[in-house]
Amino acid sequence: MLDELTSGCKTPQDVEKLFSQMLQHMINRSLEAEMQAHVGHAPHGRSGGNVRNGKSRKTVQSAFGELQIETPRDRAGTFAPQLVKKRQVRLAGMEEKILALYARGMTTRDIESALVDLYGVEISHGLIAQVTDAVLEEARAWQSRPLEPIYPIVWLDGIVVKVQHNKQVINKAAHVVLGVNLRGEKEVLGLWLAEHEGAKYWLSVLTELRHRGVRDIYIACMDGLKGLPEAVQAVFPQTLTQLCIVHLVRASLRYVNAGDSKAVVAALKRIYQSATAEEAAAELEALDTQWGDKYRAVVRLWRGNWDNIIPFFQFVPQIRKVIYTTNAIESLNMVMRKLTRNRRIFPNDDSALKSLFLAVREASKNWRSIHHWKPALQSFQVMFGEKRVPMNAL
């Protein structure tokens, strides 16, 4: 039968048209079956109760183009179809495609054009806006969800986004907190938009985390923002603060030519993978000797932050490895920066938050638990004791 159906297909467009026809037929048959189950008899069958009352017709958008759907009606008006609900004008797969394009930084107008090009489906700008606006409620629920009581490691980060405000374009700081829970699973704890990234605003973010259930953080990794370590310790007094190695390497590469980046990264890796602070200092001297003349700014960056780097070497190798090898914060940054490059300017705060939320959701789909997490957790227990690291977590 399939051979007969496809025998007339000569082009990919013919195949898509066939799929569209088959999907339309299957949906209409399924809706008829739903009605039969609802009224309890086949068409023209006998019944002493509710009966069919014709059909309503509508056009539904799908990944295979427009479908002409015929929804049966009943005389009592109690039939509620489940496959294609009343007032539904697009299949669920189309919504996911719209949101995936929005997460990549496309505007609603861009998405409207892309859907025509890719699927031959014309969906209005207003309808696309409705789909993306529906995400805002989900994003707000996600932003206020209860959190776990303990996150052994968190990273505090921020990126700049451009937002229209009173007919002007201003820079705003998107604050993001990434955490690792006791099971070694990575999780974005929240997103916050503010006019500036500052220690005072971070204090309010950390206070919100406390209100949402976080009771303890073992290590907080951050960039070199002045006052941020004090803000962390004001809310979580027992937390150790650590300059984020990933941030430092990324900042270093801003000064390095593409052709030298691999060699410079290898030299930086020898610093932060050193067994002791003394060995790391020797590797810093080696970096200066090899690259100091060409990339003085890189050497100055590491020397200027050395007092904030040194605490890293108090951690046992199992913990250090988790801090510098997890690529979650880097992959998250990459997705968010790609979003801001593609979108460039957001019309308002809600648009920026929707896009960032969808980008985070997209990035986290491929995350896996941290490898060799158990040894790191055991090391945390040795460092901080059973009171802070519960036995049942091991």
* Tens-digit pLDDT profile for residues 328-368: 677 787 777 777 776 678 888 888 888 888 888 878 888 88
Task: Record the pTM.
Answer: 0.70
Those residues whose C-beta lies under 8 Å from the C-beta of residue 167, and which sit 6 or more positions away, are: none
156 and 243 in contact (C-beta within 8 Å)?
Answer: no
267 and 275 in contact (C-beta within 8 Å)?
Answer: no
Instruction: Tell me the residue type at 103.
Output: A
In a shared domain, residues 131 and 160: no
- Band of residue 1 on the pLDDT scale cut at 50, 70, 90: very low
Those residues whose C-beta lies under 8 Å from the C-beta of residue 321, and which sit 6 or more positions away, are: 372, 376
In a shared domain, residues 135 and 201: no
Span 32-87, pLDDT tens digits: 877 888 877 666 665 667 888 888 888 887 766 778 888 888 888 888 887 678 87
In a shared domain, residues 325 and 382: yes
Last residue of a domain, one of 114, 139, 164: 139
Burial of 98 (0-12, 13-18, 19+ CB in 10 A): buried
In a shared domain, residues 235 and 320: yes
In a shared domain, residues 199 and 69: no
Determine the structural domain holding residue 188 and report its residue range.
146-393
How far is it, in rounded angstroms, from Cα 363 to Cα 343?
Answer: 17
Helices (H), 52-179: 92-103, 108-119, 125-143
Last residue of a domain, one of 139, 170, 203: 139
Instruction: Tell me the residue type at 350.
Output: D
pLDDT above 60 for 5: no
Q: Nearest 5°: phi and psi at 176?
A: -135, 140
